[in-house]
Amino acid sequence: MKRKYFGTDGVRGRVGQFPITPEFALKLGMAAGQVLSTHQGGRVIIGKDTRLSGYMLEAALESGFSAAGISSVMLGPMPTPAVAYLTRAFRADLGVVISASHNPYFDNGIKFFSAAGTKLPDELELEIEKLIDSGELKMATSAEFGRAFRQNDAPGRYVEFCKSTLGTQLSLQGLNIVLDCANGATYHVAPLVFKELGANVIAIGDKPNGVNINDEVGSTHPDALTARVLSEKADLGIAFDGDGDRVMMVDSRGRLLDGDAILYIIACDRRERHKLDGGVVGTLMSNLGLETALRQRGIDFERSAVGDRYVMERLLERGWKLGGENSGHIICLDYVTTGDGIVSALQALKACLRQDKDLAELTADLHMFPQELINVRTKSGFDATADEAVQAAVREVEQILGDKGRVLLRKSGTEPVVRVMVEGEERGFVHNQAQHIANVIIERSEE
């Protein structure tokens, strides 16, 4: 059954436009609280990123939970993975994150974590949606209203957890690291983690003002990080996105390492130490170079649909521990239950320390295939994946590429956009063929 309000990553949209309004957030809190009290218990923790709209949505959600008889623990600005971790650590029944991740400040979203720190099952999201639309939201009696508490030591707890994932025998002493916190939820915790582990930290994107989150900084805008690494002659740079579940890294030469490269470093190190516990899960967007390099190392690789929830599903199905996306969303299931930018960066640095090599040396054997990604806006209702002319163009390119490339068409789940991705050995060819398919889609959509 298709969900009405929840997407692959919670409820998300433009602030002030349905459903990201205080009225809907209030109903969402009441409905989630009512479902929660039916299934398991009555305590939630609520975290948010640094968007100005977070105050409004936080207050509305807390009010809704209280009206349903559910008590709330308010964490303030905290990374998404921190909320997942603290939901488990506090033995809460539900975790709530108010964030639109890597989107601009004028967007926001609300997503839920189960008591186990994982994404809420589809069945519960559907139950919440059904209750919202039923008009049967019930308010608790005055004596049963939930309370609200402020957890002031939440950042310190998460900092200590992150540090523990490096191991007590390793130190970052002597490393000069540039951290780009995207003016987001990691601004007050990431610098502490790396400083307390011994690194000399140069922080940028660490001064949020409510509207500058992801604004020309962070993992989606790595140029600022690259420039600072080179100007400071730093050993490396690390960039997070607005809610801290994604990470990109830059080596000392200013070369960007995306999620695929970071995943490769972690996987190879764990393979060497017999700690991999199976293979690696990527997505349909993972670079063919990653798959090739891992298989050359004797590491199994499988692809899931795009989205961290699908990576998680495949990991659980296979009983594996490591997976991720080229966007920098990496899941290390032996430590966390969702993507965690800080923990993922520390796992890559752990490989550097154990092998006494830098990021460039650890990725010397990884040769990425050129990729061209084009977002094509189409008329509403046009399905490029079902159009015969478009499919003929795709088959033509695939025949030329053979086993040395890929073509992927993917429909956006939120707007009339088709994402065209072509991957191959020669950059010019890849660019031209992606544009050719995009042009066919545009022509067919306009007919």
Which active-site residues does the annotation give? 101
Interatomic CA distance for residues 83 and 39, integer angstroms: 21
280: tokens are 């690696």
100 Cβ contact list (under 8 Å, min separation 6):
12, 49, 51, 107, 108, 109, 242, 243
Q: Is the dihedral of CA 82, 85, 86, 92 positive or negative?
A: positive
How many angstroms separate the Cα of 325 from the Cα of each of 13, 120, 288, 387, 440? 22, 20, 13, 28, 28
Q: Work out the angle between the directed axes of helices 259-272 and 288-296 (0-180°, nearest 10).
A: 10
Interatomic CA distance for residues 324 and 336, integer angstroms: 13
196: tokens are 């307390």
How many angstroms separate the Cα of 342 from the Cα of each of 4, 193, 425? 33, 8, 33
Per the DSSP assignment, residues forming a β-bridge with 107 are 14
Q: Is the dihedral of CA 65, 15, 150, 85 positive or negative?
A: positive
CB neighbours (10 Å) of residue 363?
Answer: 23
Interatomic CA distance for residues 208 and 213, integer angstroms: 6
Cis, peptide link before residue 19, omega less than 30° from 0: yes
**Biggest CA-to-CA distance, the chain:** 71
Burial class (CB in 10 A: 0-12, 13-18, 19+), 374: middle
Interatomic CA distance for residues 101 and 248, integer angstroms: 14
- In three-state secondary structure terms, 147 is coil
DSSP string, 284-319: TTS-HHHHHHHHHTT--EEEE-SSHHHHHHHHHHHT
Cβ–Cβ under 8 Å, residues 375 and 417? yes
Interatomic CA distance for residues 239 and 54, integer angstroms: 22
Whose tokens are 């690291």? That residue is: 177
